[in-house]
């Protein structure tokens, strides 16, 4: 667990799931992306999470993707699987399967369907039960934009005392809440931002690292922001963050996973199709994404060596 903790101090990528034109899993594209990403300075991968369209995968596909990616991931990188069903027992079963398929840890999203019945105490009991049963370490996942459920700093702090809960991914843009979480949790508890628009602010607030969808498109830029911040190169970090934020907002909030996959295709990765009801961006949106990539990279998007 100590080795895994050190990997949570960098930039991790929540990997997309490439589908071919028949909407089937494209394992070759996944392996190619992983091969390119591992050379960019990132610290690890998060598979089959919200960015990986977990809700569009059946159980067989879920496990196949973990196994494919595990085989293509070197041991020096963290390998985390997304998990989380609406019931505690369903999540426990999924976590066990992810562990057996090769995950080093699991990122467990909050349940959300019966929202009016889910209190902070309910969430705390849920995560404790999952962590008690899990064979690998657990990271909490607070994703209010998708779930409508937020893990409050006090709830996270209480859960941070559990020996098998090692961190949290906060995908809100609530920097004040993020900062409070950092202040309430032990120093060895990983507090990671999942929002590229506030990467630098989260680092300033004491964040240990990040799990960023926009990092799939511009991993080197995200890694350089982290490096510059830690080196005290404030103006450089601020300049890079100003380039990252508009792209991050576009390929997550505005154009969603369809926009993210289009941006991957533009930069020489293989994004592939999205499963309905998600949609690919239209021509005007694609042109805007290309322009934002130009601004973020300082040049026109270029295909990477080894990309097809």
Q: Which residues are catalytic?
A: 169
CA 141, distance to chain mean position in Å, is 10
Instruction: Give residues with Cβ within 8 angstroms of 261, minimum separation 6.
Output: 16, 18, 271, 272, 273, 274, 280
CA 277, distance to chain mean position in Å, is 21
Give the burial class of 24: count Cβ atoms within 10 A of its Cβ; 0-12 exposed, 13-18 middle, 19 or more buried. Answer: exposed
Among 95, 93, 154, 94, residue whose Cα is nearest residue 121? 154
Query: Cα–Cα distances in Å, from 156 out to 107, 124, 165, 235?
Result: 14, 8, 10, 32
How many other C-beta atoms lie within 10 A of the C-beta of residue 291? 15
Looking at the DSSP bridge assignments, the partners of residue 188 are none
Phi, psi (rounded to 5 degrees) for 273: -80, 165
Cβ atoms of 104 and 141 within 8 Å: the answer is: no
């Amino acid at each position: 667990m100590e080795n895994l903790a050190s990997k949570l101090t960098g930039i991790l990528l929540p990997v997309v799931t490439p589908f071919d034109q028949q909407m089937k899993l494209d394992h070759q594209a996944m392996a190619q992306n992983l091969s390119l990403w591992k050379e960019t300075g990132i610290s690890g991968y998060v598979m089959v999470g919200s960015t990986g369209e977990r809700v569009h995968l059946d159980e067989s596909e879920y496990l196949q993707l973990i196994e494919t990616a595990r085989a293509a991931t070197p041991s020096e990188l963290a390998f985390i699987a997304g998990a989380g069903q609406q019931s505690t027992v369903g999540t426990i079963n999924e976590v066990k399967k992810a562990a057996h398929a090769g995950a080093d840890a699991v990122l467990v999203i909050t349940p959300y369907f019966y929202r009016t019945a889910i209190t902070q105490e309910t969430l705390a009991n849920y995560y404790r039960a999952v962590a008690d049963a899990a064979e690998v370490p657990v990271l909490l996942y607070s994703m209010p934009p998708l779930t409508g459920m937020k893990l409050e700093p006090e709830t996270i702090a209480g859960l941070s005392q559990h020996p098998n809960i090692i961190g949290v991914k906060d995908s809100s843009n609530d920097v004040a809440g993020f900062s409070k979480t950092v202040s309430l949790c032990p120093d060895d508890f990983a507090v990671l931002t999942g929002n590229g628009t506030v990467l630098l602010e989260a680092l300033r607030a004491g964040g240990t690292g990040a799990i960023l969808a926009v990092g799939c498109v511009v991993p080197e830029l995200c890694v350089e922001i982290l490096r510059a911040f830690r080196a005290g190169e404030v103006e450089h970090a601020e300049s890079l963050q100003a380039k990252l934020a508009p792209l991050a907002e576009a390929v997550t909030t505005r154009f969603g996973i369809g926009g993210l996959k289009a941006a991957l295709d533009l930069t020489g990765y293989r994004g592939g199709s999205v499963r309905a009801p998600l949609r690919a961006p239209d021509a005007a949106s694609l042109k805007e994404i290309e322009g934002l990539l130009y601004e973020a990279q300082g040049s026109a998007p270029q295909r990477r060596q080894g990309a097809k």
